[in-house]
Amino acid sequence: MLLQNKKIAIIGGGPGGLTLAKLLQIKGINVNVFERDINKDARVQGSPLDLHEESGLAAITEAGLLDEFKKNYMPGADRLKIMNEQAEVFFSDHDDKPEENFGQEHFRPEISRGALRRILLESLEPETVIWDSHFLSMEAQNDGWLMHFKNNKSVYADVVVAADGFNSKIRPYITDIKAFYSGVTMLEGNIYNAGETAPKMNALLNGGKIMAFGNGKDLLMGQKDNGEIGFYASFKTDEKWAVNSGLDYSDNLQMLDWFKSEYSEWSDVWHELFEGAVSPFIPRPIYCMPVDQTWKSMSNVTMLGDAAHVMPPFAGEGVNVAMRDALEMSKCLTSNEYNSLQEAITAYETDMRERASEKAQESLENGERMHSENALRTMLDFFRSH
């Protein structure tokens, strides 16, 4: 086996990195995950994920974790309402959504990010994840890399895998191709104990998802576990809006005033989101890697997920593609059909770029549809046809 007696370092403990670690450990590979978080509870996890049969669920199944996933997913959280800016419902599958289950092509079960992370973490061998490991740099040593971390720790690995997201510190060792701004920024908010702090929104959501469209702007929200709601105000603006807006993202009243001004045509029923959210709000400019990107593969470093192909979130593919990356990379690195690690990594990266390019193009096109003046009609036609 190509990885026999080799040390593998995965930089980043998100779903992609943890999935890869699990799949490699099943094959008996020596692997560690280096995560900058101080511990598993260090950060608030984002909105729920819907896993797809051919990607996220395929990786979960290969990892032997499908039964555990079934115990933790959120039945009904995939139900959807589509509304206009006045909160009028134009589409809802809450009452007539067909009964779906695992193994069906279009079943996309929702799970909270926190639950998915916990399932993956608990499946790993003890001490697999090295917490509080803030990667700084690495240098070639022998046939691998000597990695340096913020706490003055240096660790050698034969193969390094970048799973450290859009601002990857590893990616520049592989390619200098950079992402471009999609034209859309999303403002993220989270509401705890939504039944009390945002009762109208909680009732409107009813355990599922809402997509609201009006005047070229969107509100997107979903039920999280533990009675929480995650939401995004999504709109077209310039790339530097987040730093040039002059807004104090920790001031709910100021953020509500911003919403009233920028979403002036929208009903005041949405105001409860901004009144009940915990601060700070998080502005997220949305980026995408060029769909035609390519590079010469190396023998001792590669990447997956957002580090390799960050894409807009408008097709629900980000985590799914990352977990599919982990699945395909594990297969290539542990296969006997390749004569060298460089050959195996080349095969993985070639396939990965092709898959990601298709999903990125789909996401970009969806983003344009969702922020057009006739977004409501376009999205209604799409969902009714499906």
Binding site members for FAD: 50, 113, 306
DSSP letters, 199-228, are HHHHHHHTTSEEEEEETTEEEEEEEPSTT-
Q: Binding site residues for NADPH, as ranges? A: 43
Q: What is the 3-state secondary structure (H, E, C) of 357-375?
A: HHHHHHHHHHHHHHCCCCH
Q: Do residues 205 and 197 touch, judged by C-beta distance below 8 A?
A: no
The helix/strand/coil state of 287 is strand
CB 345 within 8 A of CB 332: yes
In three-state secondary structure terms, 140 is strand
* The two three-digit tokens of residue 379, written as one number: 């999205």
Annotated binding site: 43, 50, 113, 306
7: β partners: 30
Two structure tokens written together for 307: 């580090």
DSSP codes of every residue in 123-141: HSPTT-EE-S--EEEEEEE
Phi/psi of residue 196, nearest 5 degrees: -105, -40
H/E stretch holding 245? none
From the list 77, 42, 107, the residue with the least C-alpha distance to 227 is 77
Rounded distance, CA 249 to CA 247, Å?
6
Alpha-carbon dihedral sign for residues 102, 105, 111, 113: positive
The answer to whether 258 touches 235, Cβ cutoff 8 Å, is no
